[in-house]
Structure 1
Amino acid sequence: MSRVVHPIEQESFRRLRARLDTSGLPPLTRAVVERVIHSAADLEYADDLVMTEEDLVTAHAALHAGAPVVVDVEMVAAGITRRETVCRLRDAVAGDGRTRSAHAVRLAYEQVGPGALWVIGCAPTALEELLTLDASPALVIGLPVGFVGAAESKAALRESGLPAVSNVSEKGGSAVAAAALNALLYHPTSAEENQ
């Protein structure tokens, strides 16, 4: 089923493209960059985001084949449309030097196992915990926000070699993390393009 795009969204993307030429980017990279910029009205993300088209192609296929989507907080889940998500934050407790967000990641991993898409937009400690697990993710969208640990956790994600979407600065958040996942959800599969 194709997605109906509201005229306001169409106009927003038209204006975005009038201010920033994304036409030279590979298709999925362009989709992620544009949707993240659109969600934050922040053109600086064009130079701040880090990803590879190869990782996005693999993640896109896994997502459309039904791989689980795990989020760190309900705000990320609320922004992801057209897909159920797993969020275990309500079940988590802080303790043993671990934050609730870190414990929630561990609980989610116990539930979904390897191969999921992980969308972290709030807690750097959630991303740090994920990096300690043998999660074999299809993709990690690591865009936590904040002045304490956010940039460092994203740097650790990039250094891990896991397939990822991240950014260099402290900025990020639930809306941009959800937007990055939605870009992959909304991008047509080859079967949809041939219809």
Structure 2
Amino acid sequence: MYIKNPMEIENKSMDIIDEVMNDTSFSEEEKIIAKRMIHTTGDFDYRNIIVFKNDFIEEGKKAIFKGTTIFTDTKMAYMGINKPALKKANCELKCFIDDERVFEMSKALGTTRSACAVDLAIEEGIDIFVVGNAPTALFRILELVKEGKANPKLIVGVPVGFVGAAESKEYLREFDIPSISTVGTKGGSNVAASIINALLYMVVGR
């Protein structure tokens, strides 16, 4: 016999995760996000590597409550974010990774499509960024901030991998921007989506 009801499975999972959260210094709302990240990855180590900065949760909730446009660096993150909750919050997602303009910019500039997608997002006035895969996207956002060309309201910075991922997140933590990041190589598009979902559920429920 096994549990078949999806909500029962999720609730049971959260109960199991709860058992390891007592030794953390997270606030109650930070725990909600951390638990969803752990639930998504099956990795308890996340409770030791998550860094919240500059009222990330409060600023995220405010932005979602008003309705906003959110940039994602990958289709996987785009697909993982709960669409009914987005609709309830009057928010929309943008992912430019397959945009023809991004292909052209990438060839011309000799850089990644992910970085070029950030430039396009800035041109369109987007100021909430969700990066789960590409360190170059996170570095590009921060370059534009340094140049005075971008002023993000919120950054989810959890790119995964061994080349530039840890460094891009460390760099993010130097900025006074509301952000969440992970220390080291762990992260991913699924993790990025879980963070936005947690914020959405806080504001509009499931």
User: Could you state the TM-score of these two structures normalised by the residue count of structure 1?
Assistant: 0.87
Q: State yes or no: 1:129 paired with 2:140.
A: yes
Aligned partner of residue 93 in structure 2, secondary structure:
coil
Q: Residues 20-39 of structure 1: matches in 2 within 5 Å? A: 20-21=21-22, 25-39=26-40
Q: Residues 1-195 of structure 1: matches in 2 within 5 Å? A: 6-21=7-22, 25-52=26-53, 54-81=55-82, 82-83=85-86, 84-91=92-99, 92-93=102-103, 94-95=106-107, 96-111=109-124, 113=125, 116-133=127-144, 134-188=149-203
> For 1:38-90, what per-residue CA distance to the aligned partner results, in whole angstroms no more than 9, with x for missing partners?
11011111110100472210121111211211100110001100223111111
> For 1:4-48, what per-residue CA distance to the aligned partner results, in whole angstroms no more than 9, with x for missing partners?
x81111111011112332786323211111111111011111110
Relative to structure 1, is the Cα distance of residues 117 and 9 closer, same or farther in structure 2, using a 3 angstrom cutoff? Answer: same
Identity of aligned residues (%): 39
Q: Is the 8 A contact 1:28 1:57 kept in 2?
A: no
**Structure 1 stretches (4+) deviating beyond 3 angstroms?**
none
Gaps of 5+ in 2: 1-5, 87-91
Aligned partner of residue 162 in structure 1, secondary structure:
coil
Aligned length: 184
Relative to structure 1, is the Cα distance of residues 24 and 172 closer, same or farther in structure 2, using a 3 angstrom cutoff? Answer: closer
* Distance apart, 1:161 and its partner CA: 2.1
- Greater Rg by CA: 2
Relative to structure 1, is the Cα distance of residues 11 and 89 closer, same or farther in structure 2, using a 3 angstrom cutoff? Answer: same
User: Could you state the TM-score of these two structures normalised by the residue count of structure 2?
Assistant: 0.83
Relative to structure 1, is the Cα distance of residues 124 and 24 closer, same or farther in structure 2, using a 3 angstrom cutoff? Answer: closer
Gaps of 5+ in 1: none
Q: Is the 8 A contact 2:170 2:183 kept in 1?
A: yes
